[in-house]
Amino acid sequence: MTTQIPVLEKIHSANDRIAAANRAALDAAGVFALNFMASPGAGKTSLVEQTVKRLANAVHVGMINGDIATSLDAERAQLAGATAVQINTGGDCHLDAVMLSQALPALDLNTIDLLIVENVGNLICPANFALGTHHNVLIASIPEGADKPYKYPGMYRGVDVLVINKIDLLPYVPFDMEFFRKGVEILNPGVTVFPLSCVTGEGVDAWIDWLRAQVKHA
């Protein structure tokens, strides 16, 4: 008779303990933290740039970027005015709580009001690992198509906030918003949604107003 070892459960249990420690460190410093998740090209870094620029006079933003290679996105965030740290996963398709715990000491949390963690770009692995952030934010984009909530239910089910980016492309790209929103609502009823365009700025003010309120509360 074979013995089954629940390795995945143990991995998640260990990750969750470290995520709790990350949250405690963030709370102690009064930092409000977001985990940005999306497919490649959906506009995570563009939203980081817009957020940093619009909050520059009132909120100090830190950014931790996770990518398999390069520091291109962290450099973009730094140029926009954020204090940025790069994590290169070397092939891993997600960030986990251990990686975040190793990056946090590179930031002076006492000087940061808002921390944005930009996860590795894909719609599967990042949904499975808690980091210790206060909210999970999914950036969807119009060119990806309206079927993504149906094809990646784990990601859409587990987020607190949904940003629908690139709405400026709606006149040019076939996208059934009603079908998309129905899929989201089935998986995640009442999720906070921000349709916006990082190119034109449409809808970004509502996102910024929400962020200001969250940071103030934290």
The amino acid sitting at 20 is A
Distance between CA 121 and CA 125 in Å, rounded? Answer: 9
Q: What is the pLDDT of residues 77-106, one digit of tens each?
A: 999 999 999 999 999 999 999 999 999 999
CB of 37 closer than 8 Å to CB of 128: no
What pLDDT digit, counting tens, does each position of 170-207 carry? 999 999 999 999 999 999 999 999 999 999 999 999 99
- In degrees and rounded to multiples of 5, residue 14 shows phi and psi of -65, -40
Residue 6 has pLDDT above 70, yes or no: no
pTM of the shown model? 0.94
Provide the phi-psi class of 136: left if phi over 0, else alpha when psi is between -120 and 50, else beta: beta
